[in-house]
Structure 1
């Protein structure tokens, strides 16, 4: 290792002399693709053969050549190194740096920290060393960064409510020779911040100031040319520097001396100049100078962001607070310190309200307008909108449950300049019926939002069409009970209930002959007179009780003719207590409801005083019964109960105080319910109660 050090020292001293001699040469140029491939190979060869390289660095970051510049004589190269993290994402920041010198047709690469590194930087040809690593001009006074108290009143340089990824701050000046770092000195970049996102984003002034200088003529991604804007705040006596802007995005009105408000649009981020990927390099300086590359630079000073809740306004990444020394007491980050490079870490939400938010007016519907009359949920909406840069979208909002909510599509293309015309499906937002507050919401290019402009109250006549329904053919069972079923669909406002109407045939519809059925039901029973003919129709009502229209011309959907007579079960006659059928305890029996109003009696012999259940399920034909239990004196009723509805089961519990004979009387739930097929089951069984243990905690 000592031999390698001596060789590098002698080599660099020789090169330094050659560089001084060539100081008047033309400016350097980007290396060709062929030479870049040679330089990349030489860089990785240097890493592989150097025993002092820290392999742990490459577990998190993989370097790659971003670009390279060649001196006019073709003998010297400056390598810009980009980094990819363990997820494969390229870091958006200033590149690391390495130098290469041609020796016997091969490139010799040196890294930060190598012997003679600092001397080699000083002797590079004019323009090869980035301004970020160049010494300040002789007339500029610089000093320690933390001499003065932090400047307050700065905000993150993008629109309120939007979040951007902090790529780095103090990482600019950390020494990682294997990766070509530092990319900037601590004196210059202690308070510099790199913000990025998946794509270019608009920049807003972090604080008010006058335009000191700007440039946006560099093509996007041009490494040889840096777009920038600088604002000067006389109260702070400080300069805001925004670097790496996109081509042609700085507003024409921002000429030198123009006052810029906090939150005013400055331009878009890009990758121009000394940069590995699109981002903004933002810092505030107390000194400033123009480099040979045509952009401004200075010594960063301590500022605090009013919209950064951690570290008293100092943004930091989770990687920085866990891997690097702590500066200015900033120990916190936004995210998981145990996974420092987690992509969900380090997203900072801005509170920088736009200086010129968009404006807009809802022109239709007018105040107090009655909308959605009829069966269409669409309402015609028009609005005007404007912004100092560009309107990007408008959308209708409505106040639902006390909150403004976006409804309908987000409209991005005007029908004509400044005028937007679109339809909103009000039913898709909510089953509104009655007064409704509406307004327009507008977004601008910078990301500013005007939340609820030009509100007014309109009247909504059922935002949703009524639901629909269709009766299936009636199901008959040789019984006076008919099972009616249907299909139904909500049109947006749900289904609250159904009106099932019937009429005797021939006859007319009568409002008194309506059965109301719950909205979640899809079937019910109807009981008519023996031998009667009936027609049925159904309509659904939504949550606002808006009814589906009846079929036209008073038409019916299904009809039925009921049987005139029935055939009694084989156990008849059992119509009184004397003729009661013997029913063994615990054994199922069966019977039908024939004739109309005809009861069935059962005798049960009980040997043990206890509680007993009488269970009478409906087995077919809509059978449903009333149960009465009598004591052994044949007169005293002990219990009674009935099915909840036609086609439902009945269950009664009674207490047998002594052993003996008890009697059960079965009657149809309604007097007209009868039929050969109206069959019920019956069983008497002892009630066995189960008691769960009481657990006291």
Structure 2
């Protein structure tokens, strides 16, 4: 081409664009003050509206989202957002009303008012979104025959993730007080708005080729819409995805490129004619581009293969309870009696990601021994890859035969394609021995691939051992004392305690270890008069891991036992010849004073009667061995002993003849003694009762 001619053509086109822009300057976003005036005028109009209020107002409260002014400032287009009875802004296309500036202020015109259509058509170019404009006379359409219902579509987000359906047939419902419809049934009969609290990744609902894209609009820009359009030439349709986020459409998605179902196509946002973050998705049999550069068309009926209700047609609980039933779709997911409940209308996708992420574990290596009780942290390193990016990685472990995710889900890569993090094995459980581990990864779209690169490692006590310590002992004027200990740190859980003792001087001997259950924190101990004893304690965890003994050869507590004692008032009663009388049903107290000290008592009893002797430990850890005799020391009738230090016992015997009977009480163990090693005994006559034996 002649260079001069080419230059003239460019000059002409530039001049045309400048003149066009001068004829149709873009609408102005109203200032905060003007928006406040418009909001006041709108609500004043609602108050004076003679039409009865709809049930809708019980669930929704309108508020001004934004407003645009004509170049001369005389007219305004007001976008209305709706806040539901749970305080949540609907993420959808806004309602729309118009205001005219008069001498007395702004006058609001609602849909359905006389002259509404004329008012819209008279607005300067660019003030209305495509949704509110008529279709061109000759929109681009495919020559393929149009089907009644199009199938093979899946929800436009990845399998395993759920999104809230904000609305479908709500788009074209006639609610003039709220500025609705936001678009007509001609365009939006089969349109769907999906949302979530944050931006979320979108994937192709069906395989198609890229027809058009734009992601240059800044996030939240009300005057600019990001989009992607996929064409399905074989069925004469176009998939339109609107309100995408800035810069999120992959660079490789150029016009004409084939996009697989489940392939990432961008993130949702709030660009354009929108009140909040969502994607407006519909399939059309025609397509055209509007003045602000985004695509639109007439929607056609589709069924989603992964929607379990209404033969694949999503509906909200509000829609099926408030509007006429369309296309036989009368079911929703949730509570119809509370239609805007935030737990309603969540749709779980079955749209499997086209390009799932992959990864391998480089640490820990197979067969390695990790953790050592004192250090439960295990270093984990994974190499990952994905066509977009891997958004998270987590360790998996096989516990009780099931793979479960353990430790933190890491979202920050240490370097490109590498995750590096620590897993606290102790937090997983009482691990000790072989453990199967693997890698689980998620990509940006949300596709999860579990149990990659499995291997078996050895865990050497995942948790530090528990910690315990001796507490001050309870001492008496007795060679018995009360040992006490306490738990400082349970670790994974305590199974038992071991208390070790030794004489001082002396050595720690494994035979001098007393074992107690995990619920016991105290025990009696008896030693030799005048002896000095050291004590220490350690806990044993659920894996049998032992807490280390305290460092060095020292004990945690030291106790010296008394050497001498003072006898009770019944002394001397150390032989059968010195036995003191005792009556029936009269408890008496004695002390165990002196190593091997014996106390003798007697009583005269009737033949054929049974007698019970109850011994109770009163103080100082008293414990005894009791023996019953006939009329002399050689006639032993029966013997019992306490089950442990500080415990009582019961002796039962029969008086065969009417005679004198003797009881001998001696310390058990033999070296238990002390002024405060006091016990009581009481003898009573008892009648034995035998229950009949019943055979079944």
Task: Give the TM interval when normalised to the shorter protein.
Answer: 0.7 to 0.9
Question: Following TM superposition, by how much is the alpha carbon of 1:127 offset from its aligned partner in structure 2, in angstroms?
Answer: 3.3
Question: Following TM superposition, by how much is the alpha carbon of 1:598 offset from its aligned partner in structure 2, in angstroms?
Answer: 4.7
CA distance in 1 between counterparts of 2:472 and 2:22 reads 101
Match of 1:9 in 2: none
Match of 1:570 in 2: 569
Cα 1:110–1:566 shift into 2, 3 Å: same
Match of 1:579 in 2: 579
3-state secondary structure, aligned to 2:117:
helix
Cα 1:536–1:309 shift into 2, 3 Å: same
CA distance in 1 between counterparts of 2:687 and 2:269 reads 80
3-state secondary structure, aligned to 1:399:
strand
Deviation string, structure 1 residues 236-269 (Cα, Å, up to 9, x no partner): 5432211111111111111112122222211111
Match of 2:9 in 1: none
Question: Following TM superposition, by how much is the alpha carbon of 1:318 offset from its aligned partner in structure 2, in angstroms?
Answer: 2.2
Match of 1:298 in 2: 297
3-state secondary structure, aligned to 2:44:
helix
Between stretches 449-458 and 131-140, larger displacement belongs to 131-140
Match of 2:6 in 1: none
Match of 1:427 in 2: 426
**Number of residue pairs aligned between Structure 1 and Structure 2:** 661
Deviation string, structure 1 residues 586-612 (Cα, Å, up to 9, x no partner): x544333344455556678999x9999
3-state secondary structure, aligned to 1:512:
helix
CA distance in 2 between counterparts of 1:250 and 1:598 reads 96
Normalising by structure 2, what TM-score?
Answer: 0.84
Deviation string, structure 1 residues 144-181 (Cα, Å, up to 9, x no partner): xxx95544443322233333222212211111111011
Cα 1:683–1:103 shift into 2, 3 Å: same
CA distance in 1 between counterparts of 2:182 and 2:601 reads 100
Instruction: Determine whether 1:95 maps to 2:94.
Output: yes
Match of 1:280 in 2: 279
Question: Following TM superposition, by how much is the alpha carbon of 1:388 offset from its aligned partner in structure 2, in angstroms?
Answer: 2.0
Match of 1:118 in 2: 117
Q: Is the 8 A contact 1:28 1:69 kept in 2?
A: no
Q: Is the 8 A contact 2:305 2:312 kept in 1?
A: yes
Match of 2:623 in 1: 624
Q: Is the 8 A contact 2:373 2:463 kept in 1?
A: no
Q: How does 1:64-213 map to 2 (within 5 A)?
A: 64-104=63-103, 106-140=105-139, 150-213=149-212
CA distance in 1 between counterparts of 2:656 and 2:79 reads 100
Instruction: Determine whether 1:260 maps to 2:264.
Output: no
3-state secondary structure, aligned to 1:36:
helix
Question: Following TM superposition, by how much is the alpha carbon of 1:367 offset from its aligned partner in structure 2, in angstroms?
Answer: 0.6
Deviation string, structure 1 residues 523-555 (Cα, Å, up to 9, x no partner): 222222344443333322222112222344433
CA distance in 1 between counterparts of 2:73 and 2:503 reads 106
Question: Following TM superposition, by how much is the alpha carbon of 1:193 offset from its aligned partner in structure 2, in angstroms?
Answer: 1.6
Cα 1:383–1:604 shift into 2, 3 Å: farther
Instruction: Determine whether 1:527 maps to 2:530.
Output: no
CA distance in 2 between counterparts of 1:659 and 1:303 reads 107
Question: Following TM superposition, by how much is the alpha carbon of 1:139 offset from its aligned partner in structure 2, in angstroms?
Answer: 2.9
Question: Following TM superposition, by how much is the alpha carbon of 1:30 offset from its aligned partner in structure 2, in angstroms?
Answer: 2.7
CA distance in 1 between counterparts of 2:379 and 2:396 reads 14
CA distance in 2 between counterparts of 1:310 and 1:686 reads 83
Q: How does 1:276-675 map to 2 (within 5 A)?
A: 276-373=275-372, 375-490=374-489, 492-572=491-571, 573=573, 579=579, 581-585=581-585, 588-598=587-597, 600=599, 616-625=615-624, 643-650=642-649, 668-675=667-674
Normalising by structure 1, what TM-score?
Answer: 0.84
Q: Is the 8 A contact 1:467 1:491 kept in 2?
A: yes
3-state secondary structure, aligned to 1:472:
strand
Cα 1:70–1:565 shift into 2, 3 Å: closer
Question: Following TM superposition, by how much is the alpha carbon of 1:274 offset from its aligned partner in structure 2, in angstroms?
Answer: 1.0
Q: Any gaps of 5 or more consecutive residues in structure 2?
A: 1-19, 689-696
Q: Is the 8 A contact 1:151 1:303 kept in 2?
A: yes
Question: Following TM superposition, by how much is the alpha carbon of 1:329 offset from its aligned partner in structure 2, in angstroms?
Answer: 3.3
Q: Is the 8 A contact 2:637 2:653 kept in 1?
A: no
3-state secondary structure, aligned to 2:387:
coil
Deviation string, structure 1 residues 449-471 (Cα, Å, up to 9, x no partner): 23222121111111222223322
Between stretches 557-566 and 672-681, larger displacement belongs to 557-566
Cα 1:534–1:66 shift into 2, 3 Å: closer
Q: Is the 8 A contact 1:25 1:72 kept in 2?
A: no
Instruction: Determine whether 1:26 maps to 2:24.
Output: yes
3-state secondary structure, aligned to 1:453:
strand
Q: Is the 8 A contact 2:28 2:71 kept in 1?
A: no
Deviation string, structure 1 residues 424-459 (Cα, Å, up to 9, x no partner): 322222221111112233233222323222121111
Q: Is the 8 A contact 1:495 1:520 kept in 2?
A: no
Cα 1:654–1:204 shift into 2, 3 Å: farther
Q: Is the 8 A contact 2:584 2:684 kept in 1?
A: no
CA distance in 2 between counterparts of 1:657 and 1:314 reads 96
Cα 1:612–1:71 shift into 2, 3 Å: farther
CA distance in 1 between counterparts of 2:659 and 2:336 reads 80
